[in-house]
A = this chain, B = another copy of it.
Amino acid sequence: MSQPKALLFDVFGTVVDWRGSVIRQLEDFGAKQGRTADWAAFADAWRGLYQPSMEEVRSGRRPWTILDVLHRESLDSLLAEQGFTGLSEETVADLNKAWHRLDPWPDSVAGLTRLKSRHIVSSLSNGNIALLVEMAKFGGLPWDVVLCAETARAYKPLPDAYLTSAEQLGLAPGDCMMCAAHNDDLAAAQALGLQTAFICRPTEHGPVQSKDLAPTGDWTHAVGSMTELADALGC
């Protein structure tokens, strides 16, 4: 198999620690509001609404809608459930942007920087353009290009999310490598002819993670960090 020309990265969990970063920002929000809550549970519940909200769009029951809007609707319903009332629009809009301010895993920037020297490094996230661009500025992620569900107009794991992204880069699927901490993302990509790299992130879901602790498929590479991926690809 030839070296991939482009590396397409899942972002939430693979490149950034969404859970730790969202909990941190919920704690800041709680402190400002003078409220206590189980913020870890709140973060998990917010993320728990992620797949169901995208499924409405994937299924065609709902027209194309970007993730910022889906995140906001999920947040509004969780805040209402937990009895948060009287919050200003500015406060809620800023809290929703917690997803624009996610910390990279410690190896992400160094690994991406090395990989960029010999490959096109792109996001391929279900996040929207504004979310990913602000996150890159926040965390110093050196993307060559920001591809995502919004540029493909399809949420992963729908085939168009992968195939449209490869096509937009002018590449055959086999010249692209999907890099993700999630076996299901890689399975969808592999079925379409993309190369695959599993990057293990055993604490994405916190200390008691039960999923994606090891590669479950025959991936092109399986590594423990972005810098190990750079080693594996000779960068």
Contact = CB atoms under 8 A, between A and B. Distances in A.
Among A132, A136, A145, A151: residue with most chain B CB under 10 A: A145
A68 interface: yes
Contacts of A214: none
Question: How many monomers of this chain does the complex have?
Answer: 2
Nearest to A136: B144
A78 interface: no
Contacts of A145: 129, 132-133, 136, 143, 145-146
Contacts of A150: 168
B120 A133 contact: yes
Interface in A117-150: 120, 128-134, 136-137, 143-147, 150
Interface in A154-191: 168-171
Given A145-B146, A146-B145, A151-B151, A68 B137 contact: no
A169 B133 contact: yes
Interface residues of A, number: 22
A129 B68 contact: no
Contacts of A128: 168, 170
Contacts of A130: 168-171
Closest 8 CB pairs of A and B: A130-B170, A129-B168, A145-B146, A133-B145, A130-B169, A133-B144, A151-B151, A120-B133
Interface of A: 68, 120, 128-134, 136-137, 143-147, 150-151, 168-171
